[in-house]
A and B are shown apart, each in its own frame.
Chain A
Amino acid sequence: MIKKSALILLAGLLSAPLMVMADGAGSGGSGGSYKRGPGVKPVENKAYLEECGSCHFAYQPGLLPRRSWEKVMAGLDAHFGDNAELDEETLLELTTYVMDHAADQALEKRSVKIMRSLQRDEAPLRITETPYIRHQHDEIPARYIKHPEIGTLSNCTACHKKAREGYYGERWIEIPGVGPWEH
């Protein structure tokens, strides 16, 4: 009898939403509670990884709101100076995927923080234009970025060693030519 009630209790605990500090916990210290695990949901869509990842890091959809992705996906023929056109079927699949996993649909820490930093109708095309991401990188000296392995702030994976898995916490930063991020 005791066993049974313990089991029920355990099941109840497991099914409750686990809202604890995510993505390297401890950093920030603003006291927010977020979905457990990576700061941004990692990309699982194979076509997205293949199509977007062949030219650049396949940025997680959770790094921009839907209203931004709408603009990005509608302008792939002139995609930051490149042509990234997709056939209709793939375009539909990827649009559905990014819209379903956009920052305003996510509970992960970084997505939530990005959304909080944006004005209501603000729809930046670049992740590096969102106030939260800009703020997170504003202490980095320009000379660090000039390193040939980095070159631009858009090159997440150069320093964020677990960016692909959605972890952007300080403990997983290793700046080429500099080392771990210490400040």
Chain B
Amino acid sequence: MATLKVPLTPEDHVQGDPNAELTLLEYGDYECPHCGRAHPIVKRVQQHFGPRLRFVFRNFPLTQIHSHAQIAAEAAEFAATHGRFWEMHDLIYENQDRLGLPLLVALAGQLGLDPQALRDSLSAGEFEPRVRRDFMGGVRSGVNGTPTFFVNDERHDGPWELEDLVAALEARRALAD
């Protein structure tokens, strides 16, 4: 059973109560269609558990097969430095079929971020090391494709429909009790 090798750090993007008893962590790629399909499922898992669950997203772009995955990840990191990570994250997945530089720039504008600053950041590769760090941490933890979920510290293998993730999280809760 693969386990998470890189513990949560303050650098991570965490949604929900930082002290929640349950953690769902996703290694994802913004251009991956499976991740796109997982996005609303994760939302429903979050609704199901409410404050008992925190959700963490880390970047795992497969840049050789998804030509926009890297800039999308960097754009989300850019938004994060302005406190808008999750809005950007959601908007990218909600508009995944139009993913590309024009979309990312438009989304930045929509969030009140400076589109030119985003362009400059992407050209300079400002967040490239950070995205690569996420990626290599995922490799170390046995991430083998996207999306890969971890329930607390353990990799969740197999299907990730709503009922699968809920069951896996419930099982962890039962263990903790």
Please say whether chains A and B are actual partners in one complex: no
Residues on A lying within 8 angstroms of B by beta carbon are none
